Amino acid sequence: MGKFPNIKFDVGTYIKDLVDFLDTALESFFNLIFIIASNTINGIEGFLTWLPWFVFVLIIFLLGWFFRSFFSGILYSIFVFLIGTFGLWDDMMMTIAIITTAVFISLIIGIPFGIYMSFSKFFSTMMRPILDAMQTMPSFVYLIPAIFFFGLGNVSAIFATLIYALPPVIRLTELAIRGVDQEVTESALSFGSSRWQMLTKVQLPQALPTIMAGVNQTTMMALSMVVIASMVGAQGLGEQVLMSINRIDIALGFEAGISIVFIAIIIDRITNGVADKFQKHRRV
């Protein structure tokens, strides 16, 4: 009586069949994505490694100074310099290239989706359980279709990172647009503004600080995937962490781990500083 009845629903089999169908029917599409993503990563990584190290450190200092403070600029440049002294400079460049590509794609997809969700309750209701699943499903599950579609490498890492990091910017963009004061939008409509003019000149400027918070969260979640993404062949600091685990190398694990922390601090503070700048500019 206590046993579960002999009923079995092999939903995994249907998902596998769907993935097989997509891989066959959209092979050219996936190949195009692979080429674009691979060239983008290699281009960014090549440019960053081409830059002299002191120029990159100077850029980080200037970004920290402009968006935070003079002391922050000095601190962030010290962080980047320390990563170089660990012998992880090239790995840091590759990690930044992967994160930049993943975040860029996330924003291209996420912000328009969030805007459309703010205007369509039906689309918003339909997308919410999908976003919930994207955020709550174990990150390792994303690696399976990534390998299937793109094989091992950095492109698979971007695919897995994209699924995990996309929901915050979608949710916060929708929240930001919906949170714009109704009196402001009604005033814009009363003056004859079109829907596009109201969006670009009223709603988006008002919602920009919250959207920037979504950008920050998406960036941080993308960075949190670097170690997991290394399991599908992604290069960079995550690969060094994985290597240190396999070798039980405490020294390498600490240096690679603290380097990821340094990058996370820099990205978090600078993106928050960008949001603060937009907020102050809007108030002025």
pLDDT tens sequence across 75-125: 999 999 999 998 889 888 888 888 888 888 888 888 888 888 888 888 888
What's the pLDDT at 47?
A: 87
The predicted structure's pLDDT at residue 190: 72
pLDDT on residue 133: 82
> What are the pLDDT digits (tens) for 189-213?
776 667 777 777 777 777 887 888 8
Q: Confirm whether 49 is domain-assigned.
A: yes
Q: At residue 233, does pLDDT exceed 80?
A: no
In a domain, residue 198? The reply is yes
pLDDT at 283: 55
Name the pLDDT band for 231 (thresholds 50, 70, 90): confident
- At residue 274, the pLDDT reads 76
Among candidates 272, 264, 166, which has minimal Cα distance to 220? 264
Is position 5 within any domain?
no
The domain containing residue 278 runs over which residues? 11-283
The CATH number covering residue 237 comes to 1.10.3720.10
Q: What is the tens place of the pLDDT at every residue in 128-165?
A: 888 888 878 777 777 777 777 777 777 888 888 888 88
Q: What is the DSSP string of 114-170?
A: HHHHHH-HHHHHHHHHHHHHHHHS-HHHHHHHHHHHH-SSHHHHHHHHHHHHHHHHH
Residue 10 φ then ψ, to 5°: -85, 70
Q: How many domains does the chain have?
A: 1
User: Does a structural domain hold residue 216?
Assistant: yes
CA–CA separation, 172 and 275 (whole Å): 13
CA atoms within a 13 Å half-sphere pointing along the CA-CB vector of 155: 19
Residues recorded for the chain? 284
Tokens standing for residue 240: 């060094």
Does 1 score more than 60 pLDDT? no
Q: For the chain, give me the number of helices (H) and strands (E)?
A: 14, 0
Q: How many CB atoms lie within 10 A of CB 11?
A: 8
Q: Does any domain span residue 1?
A: no
Q: What b/e readout covers 174-213, taking b as 16+ CB neighbours within 10 angstroms?
A: bbbbbebeeeebeebeeeebeeeebbeebbbebbbbbbbb
**Residue 247 belongs to a domain:** yes
208 within a domain of the structure (yes/no)? yes
In a domain, 67, yes or no: yes
**Average pLDDT of the residues in 215-236:** 81
